[in-house]
Amino acid sequence: MLKVLLVDDEASIINGLKCLIDWEKYGFCIANTARSAIAAEKILEEEKIDLVICDVQMPKMSGIELLERTLKKRSDIKFIIISGYDEFEYVKKAMDYKISGYVLKPIDEDEMISLLKSVKKDFASRSLYLNQMLYRLLHNEKITAENHDEFEDLEKELGIFENEFFYYVQVKCKDTIDGINSIERVNDLSSFSVIITNAIKRFLGKEFEYFVVNDSSEGAGIVINSDMIKKFDDEDDLLYSLKSYLDQNNINACMLCGAKVDKIFDIVKSRQGIKHLEDILFYKETESVLKYEDYEDVKFSYLSHNTDFLNDFMDNIADGKEVEYCVENFINQAKEMLFSPEIFKGYINSIVISMIKTVTDAGGDVLKITAKHSVFHRSKNINISMIEMFLKDILNEYLTSLSKAHSTKGYAGEIAEYVKNNYNEDITLSYFAKKYYLNTSYLGFIFKQKMGVSFNKYLNIRRMEEAKKLLKNTDLKIYEIASKVGFKDSGYFSRKFESYTNLSPIEFRKDG
């Protein structure tokens, strides 16, 4: 509702105006009344008034003087002048100030309603203009010679008083655990922005709706000032009342509050702190309101190649530990290290890509894993609890896919095939245990059951048989042959060869 101040030295005129018009029907409310221009001026200093309807001629201070003095301080207030037939010279002077109109006594209802509609239309245009100006400031538009006058008038247009302050608040979608696997949830964020913008405007009312900026695809922005807070007990009352209103309208959202600034022209500095709060929200996902002043000293880790962090997770899986334990331990480490959310998401992507490669190499089906990863990758507003749920889900999917793949081909068969073609590499059973996320001892047992010999013996046989071929068919030196079959120490190779054939490499070559 637009707030109206009625000013006339005659009580009958004021009372008549109150009853003559259905003010709420046309978007107005009578905020206050005054029997003199002097009293009206004091009210205008203390209250946010949108429209003044005043008599042109009053004792001590005229309506024209009130108009002049007020517009020097606040250009946003509209005036409708009431005059008698013999006061037209005053009206002509008032017209120089571009008043919204004048009515003659006795006041005609239709004429007044027509003026009110015109005033409301002017406020709608002004609201859009101010909203656009705020948007430009939030996006760091620089003041130049071309736009200087436009921005210079902004403080006056906003009706800024002494001791005013401003800060930017981003109201954004607070997704749920279930949302992580919902493609529809990803696509719904754009419509969420419209819904939440309209809800905030309803909550704040017409008076402050231009402070609501459609500044994000995931929500809306509000430029809060000290005048807005006057409607509430304090800042917290405003923020939590808004949160309660959104909850009542089934809108699950949180509020990120930037740093306070003294000038509207510095509002972009307040907005710049929101990214830091978004990172805080990643770990503080249960919070509804986060203030920059409470978290400005928090520092995140941007270490993107912490192999120990990843290896610990992989080792736990390889040791056959429960999925719940592996993931929860991993998440707790992340919280202790306080990784930047983007860096942490990078670790998650590395884990999933490794899983996809392992299942693919095993000949398994990765469709479900890639589908879940795709939705995760596209999802907005992810927090650490959602990542925990995602990891548990995709790790179970991975182990199921890998199990199905190996039920056909078998771990032992894959290992044997690898050894056949890569015997010259530094191969250990623990390498395969990590690859398949199995306990080393358990994998060794499976291999021996399938192949009839232990892994180390199988590898040694493959190397020795290849060494025999090289000794018989080439003139390579003993140390060269040792290197080609995976031994760094030629002496150790010779001992292993003699143990296998009962002949030293030199004797085997001569005997051949």
| Residue 109 lies inside a defined structural domain of this protein | yes
> Quick one: which of 161, 131, 134 has its CA closest to 227?
161
For residues 74 and 176, membership in a common domain is answered with: no
For residues 403 and 426, membership in a common domain is answered with: no
Residue 216: how many other CB atoms lie within 10 Å: 19
Among 375, 409, 443, which residue terminates a domain? 409
For residues 164 and 280, membership in a common domain is answered with: yes
For residues 206 and 113, membership in a common domain is answered with: no
For residues 272 and 316, membership in a common domain is answered with: no
Among 239, 270, 295, which residue terminates a domain? 295
| Residue 132 lies inside a defined structural domain of this protein | no
Among 72, 102, 127, which residue terminates a domain? 127
Domain span at residue 327?
Answer: 307-409
| Residue 300 lies inside a defined structural domain of this protein | no
For residues 399 and 467, membership in a common domain is answered with: no
For residue 92, give Cα distances in angstroms to 97, 104, 134, 501: 9, 13, 35, 121
For residues 351 and 419, membership in a common domain is answered with: no
CATH code where residue 479 lies:
1.10.10.60
| Residue 140 lies inside a defined structural domain of this protein | no
| Residue 19 lies inside a defined structural domain of this protein | yes
Helices (H), 53-170: 63-73, 88-95, 109-138, 148-152, 154-158
| Residue 155 lies inside a defined structural domain of this protein | no
b/e code 42-68 from CB counts within 10 Å (16+ = b): ebbeeebbbbbbbbbbbeeebbbebbe
For residues 115 and 193, membership in a common domain is answered with: no
**Could you tell me if 253 and 196 are in contact, meaning their C-beta atoms sit under 8 angstroms apart?**
yes
For residues 225 and 326, membership in a common domain is answered with: no
CATH code where residue 252 lies:
3.30.70
As for how many domains the chain has, the answer is 4
How deeply is 181 buried, as exposed, middle or buried, from its count of CB atoms within 10 A (0-12, 13-18, 19+)?
A: middle
For residues 404 and 430, membership in a common domain is answered with: no
| Residue 154 lies inside a defined structural domain of this protein | no
For residues 19 and 117, membership in a common domain is answered with: yes
pTM higher than 0.75? no
CATH code where residue 115 lies:
3.40.50.2300
Say how far apart CA 43 and CA 57 lie, in whole Å.
19
Say how far apart CA 340 and CA 278 lie, in whole Å.
10
| Residue 34 lies inside a defined structural domain of this protein | yes
What is the residue-level pLDDT of the chain in tens, covering all 512 positions?
Answer: 789 999 999 999 999 999 999 999 998 999 999 999 999 999 998 888 889 999 988 889 988 889 888 888 877 789 998 887 555 565 666 566 678 888 888 889 999 999 999 998 888 777 777 777 788 888 777 666 666 666 666 666 665 555 578 999 999 887 654 444 443 444 455 577 888 989 999 999 877 888 898 876 678 999 998 888 888 889 999 999 999 999 999 888 999 999 999 888 888 999 999 999 999 999 998 899 999 999 999 999 998 888 888 888 888 887 778 889 999 999 999 999 999 999 999 999 999 998 898 888 777 788 889 888 888 888 777 899 999 999 999 999 988 887 777 665 577 888 998 999 999 999 999 888 887 777 788 788 788 878 889 999 999 999 999 999 999 999 999 999 999 999 999 999 999 999 999 999 999 998 86
For residues 114 and 188, membership in a common domain is answered with: no
